[in-house]
Amino acid sequence: MSHGNGNGAVVPGKEGLDEILRYSARLMAQRGYHGTSLRDIASETGRSLSGLYHYFQTKEDLVYWINVRGFSALTKSLEAILSHLSDPEDRLYALIFNHLDYFSHHRDEMKVLMLGTHNLTLERIAEIRRLKDGYTEQCRQVVSDFIAHRGGELPDAKGLTRATYLLFGMMNWIFGWYSPQKHGTGRDLTDDIFHTFVDGVCARRKIDDRRERVGKLVSGLRKEHHD
């Protein structure tokens, strides 16, 4: 089986492909995109450079496929899980668990996904954006259903998008600090994110002057400091 790479070339779906992507993600996570060469990847996987070219032609190919496979896996796994759950709270918990579980087993790939796609062609960037948007919309709907289920005031489109990305913010940046040895199990982390998000998104906002009062103070002090 072969897959188009978005530029007319072909990436063979042959044995060894997953291994190459895994080692490539590891090297890029450690050294960065520009600090990793195809020669490094060939050496790490025990292949010749010419042998590696049977799979990929450029580093851009690798970044592209790491992104495609990562977001596709997240989307498909979440779809399968949600098909077995109807309770909105269970679905939200499952979203968080699935997201953290995937990245706990693919930490290097997560770092590559966070590096961005600025080195790719516009066509490939658009395809990855489509995959990201599809996954985001899945999660956005889960968040919306949860808020409605809890009887909370459903925010407008901008507010719902903010709530969804705040959830992503908690989930995506665990790679920068989380260690099971120092911070507890993945289940503990899932519980914490779930309850922090639930208690925050469904909390009734008090009407007070804090936004204006504190905001004005901070803005004034910052301006005074910079002046």
The CATH code of the domain that includes 115 is 1.10.357.10
Q: Helix, strand or coil for residue 204?
A: coil
Mean pLDDT, to the nearest integer, of 150-178?
Answer: 88
Q: How many domains would you assign to the chain?
A: 1
Query: Do 170 and 139 touch, CB atoms closer than 8 A?
Result: no
* Global model pTM greater than 0.85: no
What is the reported pLDDT for 98? 95
With H, G, I as helix, E, B as strand and everything else as coil, classify residue 130. helix
The whole-number pLDDT of residue 207 equals: 58
* CA separation for the pair 97, 139 (Å, rounded): 12
Q: Measure the CA–CA gap between 40 and 46, rounded to whole angstroms.
A: 10
Give the residue-averaged pLDDT of 76-97: 96
Report the pLDDT value the prediction gives residue 84, as an integer from 0 to 100.
96
Q: Is the pLDDT assigned to residue 2 strictly greater than 50?
A: no
- The H or E element containing residue 171 is helix 157-172
| CB within 8 Å of 193: residues ≥ 6 apart | 96, 100, 167, 170, 171
How many other CB atoms are found less than 10 A from the CB of residue 135? 20
Range name among 68-72, 121-125, 151-155 with the lowest pLDDT average? 151-155
Q: Does the structure show a pLDDT above 90 at 25?
A: yes
For residue 10, what are the β-bridge partners? 4
Please, what is the average pLDDT of the chain?
A: 86
Find the domain containing 62 and state its range.
2-226
Answer yes or no: is pLDDT of 82 > 60: yes
